[in-house]
Structure 1
Amino acid sequence: MSRQVLRSQVFEERPSLLAWVGLLRSHSALTRALNAELVSAHGLTINDYEVLLHLARAPERQLRRVDLAERLLLTASGITRLLDGLERAGYVTKGQCKSDARVTYAVLTDEGLEKLRAAADSHVGGVRQQFESR
């Protein structure tokens, strides 16, 4: 692709590209601010919080690990690393499927539910504050 063609495409699409870059920057800044608040106040990352929230809303407070990865847009290794930390903290345990030994579940513990409840008020407040201040 020639520089002229590339330059032409960039300039022709400039408004949409600027909007896209603005969206990405806003998302990144908002996520970074909310993550910092959660870590500071509760020792949870925003991904930790999202895992606990998904599990709390799930039947029997459990989800297949593969389904949880899909919901958080993480790879299999990414969800494993995330769940390992939550397991060490006592917020999540591993569960086995009774009918298929290949399937494992992430199960929210009572301690994990309490951690989620403690973090929810301040996190939701932080979300409100971020949107109201913009």
Structure 2
Amino acid sequence: MFVNGSGRPQGTHPARYAIEQAVAGVPNLLSETRVQKFLHTEATIKHSQEAVASQLGSVLPGLLRQRGFVIVQLPVVGRDEAGCPSVRVLLSDRPWADGEIYADHAGHVVWTTVPARVLLQDVAAVAAALLAVHDITRRSH
């Protein structure tokens, strides 16, 4: 197996590798050995699928963040008047005018009424809108 400069096996998607490494690093994920209180003997406890899922859900976002990945919920992509994929973005300092991010028919991403300066609290919404439009256009081609 060839490894690139990041330590990731050649041909492995970076996000997949980060998830694999994060999950592999969770201690006692499937089972654990405990010393029973009154008997002072060791017992192996196997975790249910629900317990494993709960444990992964609680630690995976933080572990991925340490590896440079952030989990983002993508907004719903609609269609504008021209039939282009479009996302409306609510901006804190402009409650009277939503921003809009859409993909035009020429393959460009366009944003309208989204100012060049965006409040830090709105950056995730703008980024998620860009990613959602990007994702929907990639899936449709």
Q: TM-score, normalised by structure 2?
A: 0.25
Higher relative contact order (CA 8 A, sep 6+): 1
Quick check: which has more Rg, 1 or 2? Answer: 2
Name the structure with the higher strand share: 2
Q: TM-score, normalised by structure 1?
A: 0.26
